[in-house]
Homo-oligomer: A and B are copies of this chain.
């Protein structure tokens, strides 16, 4: 399925991808009312690939930190599965595509408080709540994991943008509504406020494409991270399947169709993609399409998939 990396070398491919896809105009949009997400210039574009053989290739603005937003859900899920018997979590959240916009309360009502998957907001709140049983400072636990995987021995590395987190927390009525609604169905154990705070702080983690690609590599390596197993091989495969079917908001099918790889996007403009057995890829460009996925990032990944033959299909 995976073709070997032929010439040209990957570094050159990435440089060319940057050349082709770095935005030249302010196409797309930024999330309304979130100042720190609209501050990066529209022409920011970075890409990084961390391979299972230990190499890291990158191009463009691959060392600039960006707000990972919903990409954090992949790592919170992995931490929750790692910390506990996976079966307990899977009784609280399904694994089906949502088929509606990512914030919808409708599904939650119809399915009596069981979110359809861990990547819609309600599902992510349940996963955070679950992780908090073992690690009340869930956001700090996720951050620590990311720092270790990204191999930051010195310098900055992944960090929480506390100012941004504070701003988002002051505007998290919708997530508070979801959390109280989950509590109403008995599917939230901690206080709604505490869970939303942890959730918002995870989403406010800042890291670069290079760091993100390294942090996600364990999913391309059967669950094996920088310092040993993170999740079992079986759970790693399953996280991949959830990424493929649910990782791109309401464009999961389109992304699977165009790119053919498990991915997870965030409204900060980042996308993490896994090529099982081969590599983890992170692309970042801040402006979004109508579904909330990075406009230039999605196009770049489709291009990269065509050039390299990387696809699970």
Indicate whether A36 reaches chain B with its CB closer than 8 angstroms. Answer: no
Indicate whether A38 reaches chain B with its CB closer than 8 angstroms. Answer: no
Interface SS, A side: helix
Interface size on A, residues (CB 8 A): 50
Indicate whether A192 reaches chain B with its CB closer than 8 angstroms. Answer: yes
How many copies, total? 4
Query: Beta-carbon contacts of A272-313 to B below 8 Å, as 1s and 0s?
Result: 000011000000000000000000000000000000000111
On whether the beta carbons of A237 and B173 are closer than 8 Å, the reply is no
Indicate whether A260 reaches chain B with its CB closer than 8 angstroms. Answer: yes
Indicate whether A109 reaches chain B with its CB closer than 8 angstroms. Answer: yes
On whether the beta carbons of A253 and B257 are closer than 8 Å, the reply is no
Contact residues of A with B, CB < 8 Å? Answer: 1-2, 94-100, 104-107, 109, 116-117, 173-174, 176-181, 183-184, 192, 236-238, 240-242, 244-246, 250-254, 256-257, 260, 262, 276-277, 311-313
Question: Which residue from chain B places its CB closest to the CB of A97 in the assembled complex?
Answer: B97
Task: Select A174's contact among B2, B96, B180, B253, beta carbons within 8 Å.
Answer: B180
Asked whether A181 and B253 contact (CB < 8 A) given A262-B313, A313-B241, A313-B276, the answer is no
On whether the beta carbons of A245 and B237 are closer than 8 Å, the reply is no
Question: Would you list the 9 A-B pairs with minimal beta carbon distance, nearest first?
Answer: A99-B99, A97-B97, A240-B313, A312-B312, A173-B184, A177-B180, A177-B181, A96-B253, A241-B256
Asked whether A252 and B312 contact (CB < 8 A) given A105-B106, A109-B105, the answer is no
Query: A250 — which chain B residues lie within 8 A by C-beta?
Result: 96
Task: Select A97's contact among B183, B184, B240, B252, beta carbons within 8 Å.
Answer: B252
